[in-house]
C-alpha cells in the first residue's frame, strides 16, 4: 500500500486515526476505503496496513512491528499492492510499461511485500486489479533481479547472501537506517532499532547478525563504484555494493566449503581485533591474496581479496581493490589459517577520510588586489604545469599536488610588500592547507619556483608545511597585514567542470571544490575594510532569498 510524491502527505497514519482526523484525507478516501472494500469482497474480516496500524511514536511498538513484519506478511492470506502511480484509466492496454517503472520497486520496504506473502495482487490507482505476482513474474524478475522461482513461492534458502543482497541494491528508504532494517526478515535475523546510527553502522550490524546464522563468504564479495577504501575491511557499507557489475552477476557466485576441510576452523565473526576468518593466503605478483570460499560460475575461478600486513601475523588490512577472481589451480594447495582483517566501524564517531585516489580537485582563487603573477602546479609524480592567466584562477589538480602562486605586487603596493609565494596543498584527509614564503633562497616557495624556471632538477621536491593550517595572517612592514584563507566548500551552480574527455576518470569519482583567498590590508584599508565588510554582510543577509550559498 503506497502513495508517492505529494500524495504521500495524504497518507493516513496511526496518529490520524487516534485523533479522528482522517476522513477528509485523500489517503482514506482513495486507499483505505478501497482496501477495505476489496478485502470485504474477497471475504476477509481483518485488514492490516503498516502506516495505519503502527504507532511510530512508540519506539518499543515500532521495533516490535518491524522485527515481526516479515512474519506478518508471510502469514497473511493475501497482500494487496496498491500502486498510485499506475493508472488503467490513462494506460488501459499498456499498463505493463507504467508498472515496470513504478516507484514501488525502488522502496526498501516493498521487497518483503514481494517475497513473503503466499499471494500478491496488484491494483492500480483506481483500485482495478491488473495482475498478480504469479502472472507478472517475468516482469517483476526483470525489474528486481529476483529469481522467478522465488516469485512462484519456492524457498529462497538456497540462494547466497550476495544474491539476496542484490535484490535490495537499487532500493532506497526515507530513513537511512531502514535500508538495513527492511532486510532483517529476508535474512531471518532480529536486532534493535537505533535510529540516528546511520546507514553504514546499521548495515554493519545486519551483516554481523547474518554471519551469526550462516557461513557464507559471498557476504564479502561486493563491488564499490570508484575506489574501495583501504580502511573499510571485508564488510560493505550498503546493499548497493552488491549490485550486478560488468565482472559478474551475484547469481553466478557459488558457495564452497574449503574452510570446513579444517576441523578446527571457526566461522567468520566480527571481534574487537577485526573480522576473524579462516582463509588460504597466496603470494601472487608481489601481493598477498586471500581466497574466499566462493567460485565464479562455470569458470571455477576463486574470489580473492588483496591483503596488507598490519602489526605482523595474524593481523591484516584489506588493500584498496575490489574483489577479484583468479584461477588458483596452478598454485600449490595451502592450508587455511586464522586471520584478523581490520574493519572500520563507519559510525558517526569514527568517520574514515575520503579516499584521495583518482579524485580531482577544482580550485577557485582570487585576491583583493591585482598583481602580475605566475602559477606552478607540482604533482607528486614529478610533472610540472605552468600557466599565466588573470589572477582569478580556476584550475584542476589531483589530490597529490601542491599549487604555488607567485605574487609580484604592482607599484601601488611595492612600498608595503615585495614578491612572495603562497603554497596551496591538500592533506591525506583532503583538507586544504596553505603557507606563505618571502625568501628567494628557500627550497620551497619562491626559491623552488625560481629553480623550476632555471630547470634546476636537483631542487624539484614537493615540501609540505610542518603544521597544516588553513588560514594565515602575516604582519608586514608599515603595519600591513597579509591574510590567506583556504576552504573546502560544496559545489554550486556556475562552478567549472573539467573537460572529462581529456581525462581518465572512473565512474563515481568524487569532486571537491576549494577556494583560496589572498588579501592585503594596508593601514588605510584596515580601518575601512572592517566596516564595509560588516555592512556588506548585513546587506547580503537581508537581500538574499532561499537557502544560503557559499561564495568563493
Q: What is the CA radius of gyration of the chain?
A: 30
Alpha carbon 374 to its chain centroid, in Å, reads 38
Its pTM stands at 0.68
**pLDDT on residue 445:** 52
Q: Across residues 281-298, what is the average pLDDT?
A: 85
Residue 287 banded pLDDT, cuts 50, 70, 90: confident
**DSSP classification of residue 355:** P
Greatest alpha-carbon span in the chain: 94
364-383 burial string, b = 16+ CB within 10 Å, else e?
bbebebebebbbbbbeeeee
The pLDDT of residue 440: 64
Given a cut of 60, whether residue 491 has pLDDT beyond it is yes
* Reported confidence tier of residue 536, pLDDT bands at 50, 70, 90: very low
What is the model's pLDDT at position 293? 92
For residue 118, the model assigns a pLDDT of: 95
What confidence score (pLDDT) does residue 202 get? 96
Q: How far apart are CA 142 and CA 148, in angstroms?
A: 9
Q: How much is the pLDDT for 453?
A: 46
pLDDT at 362 over 70: no
* Least confidently predicted of 37-41, 153-157, 448-452, 475-479: 448-452
Residues pairing with 338 in the sheet = 278
Q: How far apart are CA 75 and CA 275, in angstroms?
A: 36
**Residue written as cell 577544482?**
362
pLDDT at 533 exceeding the cut of 50: no
Q: Which whole number is the average pLDDT over 73-85?
A: 94
- Determine the Cα angle at 177 with ends 176 and 179, to 5°: 80
> According to the model, what pLDDT value does residue 396 have?
63
Which residue, 206, 232, 430, 439, is CA-closest to 341? 232
What is each CA distance from 391 to 202, 403, 408, 429, in whole angstroms? 48, 14, 12, 28
What is the rounded average pLDDT of the residues 378-383?
36
pLDDT of the residue at 523: 65
pLDDT of residue 258: 63
Is the model more confident about 404 or about 183? 183
How far is 177 from 12, CA to CA, in rounded Å? 23
Q: How far apart are CA 436 and CA 418, in angstroms?
A: 12
pLDDT of residue 490: 74
User: Which segment of 131-145, 155-169, 184-198, 285-299 scores lowest on mean pLDDT?
Assistant: 285-299
DSSP type of residue 262: S
| pLDDT, position 512 | 73
Model confidence at 459, in pLDDT bands (50, 70, 90)?
very low
pLDDT > 70 fraction of the chain, expressed in percent and rounded:
67
Q: Are 376 and 460 in contact, with CB atoms under 8 Å apart?
A: no
Whether pLDDT at 24 is above 80: no
pLDDT of residue 209: 97
* Residue 42 pLDDT class (50, 70, 90 cuts): very high
pLDDT (0 to 100) of residue 245: 83
Residue 452: per-residue pLDDT: 44
CA 459 – CA 440 distance, rounded (Å)? 13
Q: Does the pLDDT at position 271 exceed 80?
A: yes
What is the architecture of the domain spanning 360-496+513-543? Sandwich (2.60)
Least confident of 65-69, 137-141, 483-487, 538-542: 538-542
DSSP character string of 103-161: GGGGBSTHHHHHHSSS-EEEE-TTS-EEEETTTTHHHHHHHH---HHHHTT---TTS-H
Note whether 237 and 203 are within 8 A (CB).
yes
Among the listed ranges 5-19, 397-411, 522-536, which one has the minimum average pLDDT value?
522-536
Q: What is the DSSP letter of 297?
A: G
Segment among 90-99, 253-262, 519-528, 542-551 with least mean pLDDT = 542-551
Q: What is the pLDDT of residue 380?
A: 37
Query: What does the alpha-carbon distance between residue 506 and residue 236 come to, in Å, rounded to a whole number?
Result: 20
Average pLDDT, the chain: 76
Angle at 485 between CA 512 and CA 466, to 5 degrees: 90
Region(s) of the chain under CATH 2.60.270: 360-496+513-543
Q: Is the pLDDT of residue 462 over 70?
A: no
CB 405 within 8 A of CB 425: no
User: Which of the given ranges, 61-75, 251-265, 425-439, 538-552, has the highest pLDDT on average?
Assistant: 61-75
Residue 150: is its pLDDT beyond 50? yes
Is 404 strand, coil or helix? strand
259 versus 480: the higher-pLDDT residue is: 480
Q: What would the mean pLDDT of 296-319 be, rounded to a whole number? A: 84
CA 45 to chain CA mean position, Å: 45
Amino acid at each position: 500500500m503506497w502513495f508517492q510524491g505529494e500524495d504521500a502527505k495524504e497518507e493516513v497514519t496511526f496518529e490520524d486515526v487516534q485523533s479522528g482526523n482522517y476522513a477528509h484525507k485523500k489517503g482514506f478516501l482513495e486507499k483505505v476505503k478501497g482496501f477495505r472494500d476489496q478485502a470485504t469482497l474477497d471475504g476477509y474480516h481483518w485488514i492490516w496496513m503498516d502506516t495505519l496500524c503502527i504507532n511510530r511514536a512508540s519506539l518499543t511498538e515500532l521495533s516490535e512491528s518491524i522485527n515481526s513484519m516479515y512474519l506478518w506478511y508471510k502469514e497473511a492470506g493475501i497482500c494487496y499492492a496498491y500502486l498510485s502511480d499506475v493508472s488503467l484509466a490513462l494506460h488501459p492496454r499498456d499498463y505493463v510499461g507504467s508498472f515496470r517503472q513504478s516507484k514501488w520497486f525502488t522502496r526498501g520496504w516493498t521487497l518483503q511485500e514481494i517475497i513473503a506473502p503466499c499471494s500478491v495482487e496488484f491494483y492500480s490507482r483506481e483500485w482495478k486489479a491488473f495482475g498478480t505476482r504469479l502472472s507478472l513474474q517475468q516482469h517483476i524478475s526483470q525489474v528486481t533481479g529476483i529469481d522467478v522461482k522465488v516469485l512462484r513461492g519456492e524457498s529462497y534458502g538456497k540462494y547466497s547472501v550476495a544474491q539476496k543482497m542484490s535484490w535490495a541494491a537499487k532500493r532506497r528508504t526515507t530513513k537511512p537506517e531502514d535500508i538495513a532494517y527492511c532486510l532483517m526478515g529476508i535474512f531471518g535475523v532480529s536486532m534493535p532499532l537505533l535510529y540516528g546510527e546511520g546507514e553504514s553502522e546499521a548495515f554493519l550490524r545486519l551483516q554481523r547478525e547474518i554471519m551469526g546464522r550462516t557461513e557464507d563468504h559471498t557476504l564479502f564479495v561486493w563491488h564499490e563504484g570508484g575506489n574501495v577504501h583501504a580502511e573499510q575491511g571485508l564488510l560493505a557499507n550498503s546493499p548497493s555494493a552488491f549490485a550486478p557489475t560488468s565482472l559478474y552477476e551475484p547469481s553466478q557466485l557459488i558457495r564452497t566449503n574449503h574452510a570446513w576441510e579444517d576441523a578446527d576452523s571457526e566461522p567468520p565473526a566480527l571481534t574487537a581485533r577485526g573480522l576473524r576468518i579462516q582463509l588460504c593466503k597466496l603470494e601472487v605478483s608481489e601481493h598477498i591474496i586471500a581466497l574466499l570460499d566462493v567460485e565464479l560460475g562455470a569458470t571455477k575461478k576463486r574470489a580473492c581479496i588483496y591483503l596488507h600486513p598490519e602489526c605482523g601475523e595474524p593481523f591484516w588490512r584489506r588493500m584498496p581493490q575490489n574483489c577479484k577472481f583468479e584461477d588458483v589451480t596452478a598454485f600449490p594447495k595451502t592450508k587455511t589459517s586464522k586471520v584478523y582483517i581490520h574493519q572500520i566501524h563507519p559510525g558517526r564517531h569514527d568517520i574514515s577520510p575520503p579516499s584521495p585516489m583518482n579524485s580531482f580537485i577544482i580550485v577557485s582563487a582570487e585576491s583583493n588586489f591585482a598583481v602580475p603573477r605566475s602559477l606552478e602546479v607540482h604533482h607528486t609524480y614529478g610533472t610540472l604545469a605552468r600557466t599565466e592567466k588573470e589572477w582569478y584562477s580556476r584550475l584542476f589538480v589531483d589530490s597529490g599536488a601542491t599549487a604555488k602562486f607567485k605574487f609580484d605586487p604592482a607599484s601601488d603596493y611595492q612600498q608595503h610588500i615585495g614578491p612572495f609565494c603562497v603554497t596551496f596543498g591538500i592533506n591525506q584527509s583532503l583538507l586544504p592547507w596553505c603557507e606563505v614564503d618571502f625568501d628567494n633562497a628557500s627550497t620551497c616557495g619562491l626559491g623552488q619556483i625560481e629553480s623550476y624556471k632555471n630547470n634546476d632538477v636537483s631542487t624539484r621536491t614537493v615540501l609540505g608545511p610542518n603544521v597544516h593550517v588553513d588560514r594565515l595572517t602575516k604582519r608586514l612592514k608599515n603595519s600591513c597585514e597579509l591574510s590567506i584563507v583556504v576552504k573546502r566548500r560544496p559545489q554550486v551552480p556556475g562552478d567549472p567542470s573539467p573537460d572529462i574527455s581529456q581525462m581518465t576518470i572512473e565512474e563515481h569519482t568524487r569532486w571537491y571544490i576549494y577556494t583560496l583567498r589572498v588579501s592585503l590590508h594596508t593601514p588605510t584599508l584596515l580601518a575601512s575594510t572592517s566596516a564595509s565588510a560588516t555592512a556588506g554582510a548585513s546587506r547580503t543577509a537581508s537581500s538574499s532569498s532561499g537557502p544560503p550559498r557559499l561564495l568563493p
